[in-house]
């Protein structure tokens, strides 16, 4: 038997101090590294977290800038909204029934509704529940007079966007809405707060940065239980800038009124000299204050977002078949091409055949042998069929581009604008936007339709306004605009000379004067006195989408040195431009003339 020495320790016991030393060293190093990480490398981050636990910001909402008309009348501002609220978890239950019945009687609110909201707040652990939204001044006074006996209830204030004229110029002014959770992730870097308002459409959207203002607030220090200790300083909010529009409130009110009995349509009133918009109406419209409500009824919501009337749709900037108001483009194509010079006389007939179809004169008789001025005066279809077919599709397309068609107008609210369509032979070769290239060639029927503004031509009222302004002002393409803020950036765009012979423009101008003197627009003179000379053009257009006919009327006044241009459009309103659109323009002209 081999004996082990009694003073010889096992190997594991001999290494134990070393293991402990290594373990202790590693632990110490880990703690050291963690301290370095906390105190040096991540100091700023943890200091910020510490300050956030100790410091509170009581934010102060900025007042959004006002939107004014050209004369300073307020079209949009901000107001305080007062709401009756409860804090369900803080309500003294012993007083609840008494206070509930008292407020029900005082403000005429169903006590069952109050109870339901209270129970809902308790069940869902809500910090605050709104009982009555947007109190009237009378309701607010009643509450304040009895506040001592209504401790279960409170008044909450909130700054909201206010539109004193409700639906007036709704598509121009636009509306605001609270930012979404996903938007907040990147808008917070620009100073936005949770549920902050942001412009969604119109001027509210385009000039958001200019009119929104900056948040302010007070920094306060609190202790570990959240109790106020001291104020660390106050930064007042910065009010947003006011913005003045070119819109004339009184003209806008008249334009809104004359379009009121039409199911749908648009009116544009513009200064043809520089493109300043004096009124812009689209119908149907909507109450801008809808978007300032915390509670929106299902009926209101469905009307604005789901109804077939599409009230959010700006028809002043949407494209439609123009009909006879397009004939000035065909006339200029004939003149500029040299194929139909100024002294051209053409025999108008009951109908002219192109391809497999006989295209009729609107009186089914013809007007004999006439020239350009009389062709515009009586709005002869067969005259312009011959000019359009002879000049060719691409000549018409070229002239249309010079007059601003097939492109955006340059107006600030371009997010609502449609470029429209003016066909060309290349467009047909490319498939017309729906077919295969080479399978949808240009056909003779197309040129007849195009010559009088049908089917292969879709233009917006604002584009029509630009084109007629170029005739009214003697050959300059203007940029329609709604504000004076960007005058410098627009100065190089406001009056662009168009490459069209001034004598040809004057010929068209003479024809448009005859339309009102003795042609299809003569009724504008009936029942009125002292109107300055007016030039214009009526139009009746078949709806390319299969609906009822559209009615158009465009005019400018005075005929020489024009100061006002009006485009009146009644969508799917059969009966003719002289019957439905002209009377609207007439009322606006009457008001403008009386005012001046």
Average pLDDT rounded to a whole number, residues 379-388? 98
CA dihedral sign of residues 118, 119, 120, 123: positive
pLDDT of residue 24: 77
In a domain, 175, yes or no: yes
Find the CATH number of the domain harbouring 209: 3.90.1310.10
Per-residue pLDDT for 8 more than 60? no
Q: What percent of the chain has pLDDT over 90?
A: 69
| Interval 325-371: pLDDT, tens | 999 999 999 999 999 999 999 999 999 999 999 999 999 999 999 99
Rounded Cα–Cα distance for residues 91 and 130 (Å): 14
E-strand ranges in 136-276 read 154-162, 176-178, 197-199, 216-222, 228-235, 243-244, 265-270
Average pLDDT rounded to a whole number, residues 56-72? 86
Instruction: Specify burial of residue 496 (Cβ count, 10 A radius: 0-12, 13-18, 19+).
Output: middle
In a domain, 37, yes or no: no
Residues 481, 357, single domain; the answer is: yes
Among residues 244, 265, 283, which one ends one of the domains? 244
pLDDT of residue 295: 75
Residues 139, 217, single domain; the answer is: yes
DSSP code at position 320: B
Find the CATH number of the domain harbouring 509: 3.40.710.10
Average pLDDT rounded to a whole number, residues 194-212? 93
- Yes or no: say if 317 and 411 are a contact pair by the CB < 8 Å rule: yes
Residues 116, 227, single domain; the answer is: yes
Among 508, 572, 568, CA closest to 535: 508
In a domain, 30, yes or no: no
- Yes or no: say if 281 and 316 are a contact pair by the CB < 8 Å rule: yes
Residues 134, 265, single domain; the answer is: no
- Yes or no: say if 328 and 512 are a contact pair by the CB < 8 Å rule: yes
Rounded Cα–Cα distance for residues 504 and 212 (Å): 48
pTM: 0.84
| Interval 116-131: pLDDT, tens | 999 998 888 887 888 9
| Interval 503-550: pLDDT, tens | 999 999 999 999 999 999 999 999 888 899 999 999 999 999 999 999
Per-residue pLDDT for 253 more than 60? yes
Q: Give the helix, strand, coil percentages of the chain, each rounded to 5.
A: 40, 20, 40
E-strand ranges in 182-334 read 197-199, 216-222, 228-235, 243-244, 265-270, 277-283
pLDDT of residue 3: 47
Residues 395, 275, single domain; the answer is: yes
In a domain, 78, yes or no: yes
Query: Cα(first)–Cα(last) distance of the chain, in Å?
Result: 134
Average pLDDT rounded to a whole number, residues 431-448? 92
pLDDT of residue 485: 55
Residues 255, 166, single domain; the answer is: no
pLDDT of residue 37: 65
The confidence band for 41, taking pLDDT boundaries of 50, 70 and 90, is low
In a domain, 19, yes or no: no
Rounded Cα–Cα distance for residues 405 and 399 (Å): 9
**Structural domain span for residue 500:** 250-595
Q: In terms of pLDDT, which residue wins out, 91 or 583? A: 583
Among residues 203, 226, 244, which one ends one of the domains? 244
pLDDT of residue 430: 93
CA dihedral sign of residues 431, 450, 388, 398: negative
The confidence band for 45, taking pLDDT boundaries of 50, 70 and 90, is low
Residues 415, 541, single domain; the answer is: yes
In a domain, 291, yes or no: yes
pLDDT of residue 228: 58
In a domain, 591, yes or no: yes
Residues 339, 205, single domain; the answer is: no
| Interval 449-466: pLDDT, tens | 999 999 999 999 999 999
Residues 258, 219, single domain; the answer is: no
In a domain, 179, yes or no: yes
Residues 230, 356, single domain; the answer is: no
Query: Residues for the chain: how many in total?
Result: 596
Mean pLDDT of the chain: 90
Among residues 186, 213, 244, which one ends one of the domains? 244
pLDDT of residue 530: 85
Residues 167, 262, single domain; the answer is: no
Domain count, the chain: 2
Residues 393, 505, single domain; the answer is: yes
């Amino acid at each position: 038997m081999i004996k082990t020495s009694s003073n010889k320790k096992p190997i594991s016991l001999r290494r134990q101090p070393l293991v402990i030393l290594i373990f202790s060293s590693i632990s110490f190093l880990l703690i050291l590294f963690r301290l370095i990480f906390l105190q040096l490398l991540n100091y700023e981050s943890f200091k910020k977290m510490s300050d956030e636990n100790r410091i509170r910001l009581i934010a102060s909402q900025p007042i959004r800038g006002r939107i004014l008309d050209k004369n300073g009348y307020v079209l949009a501002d901000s107001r305080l909204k007062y709401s009756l609220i409860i804090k369900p978890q803080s309500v003294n239950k012993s007083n609840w029934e008494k206070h509930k019945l008292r407020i029900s009687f005082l403000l005429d609110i169903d006590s069952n509704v109050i109870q339901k909201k209270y129970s809902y707040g308790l069940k869902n652990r809500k910090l605050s529940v709104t009982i009555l939204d947007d109190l009237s001044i009378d309701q607010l006074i009643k509450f304040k007079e009895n506040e001592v006996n209504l401790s279960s209830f409170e008044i909450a204030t909130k700054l909201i966007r206010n539109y004193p004229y409700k639906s007036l110029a709704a598509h121009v002014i636009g509306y605001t809405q609270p930012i979404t959770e996903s938007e907040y992730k990147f808008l917070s870097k620009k100073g936005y707060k949770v549920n902050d308002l942001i412009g969604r459409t119109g001027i509210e959207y385009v000039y958001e940065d200019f009119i929104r203002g900056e948040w302010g607030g007070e920094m306060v220090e609190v202790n570990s239980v959240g109790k106020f200790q001291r104020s660390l300083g106050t930064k007042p909010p910065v009010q947003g800038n006011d913005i003045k529009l070119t819109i004339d409130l009184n003209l806008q009110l008249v334009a809104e009124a004359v379009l009121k009995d039409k199911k749908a349509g648009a009116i544009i009133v513009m200064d043809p000299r520089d493109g300043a918009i004096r009124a812009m109406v689209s119908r149907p419209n909507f109450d801008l204050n809808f978007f300032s409500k915390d509670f929106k009824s299902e009926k209101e919501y469905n009307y604005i977002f789901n109804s077939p009337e599409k009230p959010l749709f700006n028809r002043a900037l949407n494209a439609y078949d123009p009909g006879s108001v397009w004939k000035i483009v065909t006339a200029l194509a004939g003149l500029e091409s040299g194929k139909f010079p100024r002294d051209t006389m053409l025999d108008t007939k009951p109908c002219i055949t192109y391809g497999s179809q006989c295209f009729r004169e609107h009186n089914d008789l013809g007007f004999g042998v006439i020239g350009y001025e009389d062709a515009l005066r009586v709005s002869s279809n067969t005259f312009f069929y011959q000019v359009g077919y002879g000049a060719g599709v691409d000549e018409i397309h070229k002239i249309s581009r010079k007059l601003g068609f097939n492109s955006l107008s340059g107006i600030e609210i371009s997010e609502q604008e449609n470029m429209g369509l003016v066909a060309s032979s290349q467009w047909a070769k490319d498939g017309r936007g729906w077919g295969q290239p080479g399978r949808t060639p240009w056909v003779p029927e197309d040129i007849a339709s195009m010559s009088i503004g049908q089917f292969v031509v879709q233009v917006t009222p604002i584009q029509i306004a630009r084109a007629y302004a170029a005739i009214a002002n003697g050959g300059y393409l203007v940029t329609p605009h709604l504000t004076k803020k960007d005058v410098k950036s627009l100065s190089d765009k406001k009056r662009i000379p168009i490459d069209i012979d001034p004598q040809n423009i004057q010929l068209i101008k003479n024809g448009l004067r005859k339309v009102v003197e003795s042609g299809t627009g003569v009724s504008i003179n009936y029942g009125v006195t002292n109107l300055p000379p007016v030039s214009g053009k009526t139009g009746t257009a078949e709806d390319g989408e299969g609906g009822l006919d559209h009615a158009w009327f465009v005019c400018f006044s005075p005929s020489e040195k024009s100061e006002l241009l009006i485009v009146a459009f009644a969508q799917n309103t059969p009966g003719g431009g002289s019957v439905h659109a002209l009377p609207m323009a007439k009322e606006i002209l009457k008001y403008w003339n009386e005012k001046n």
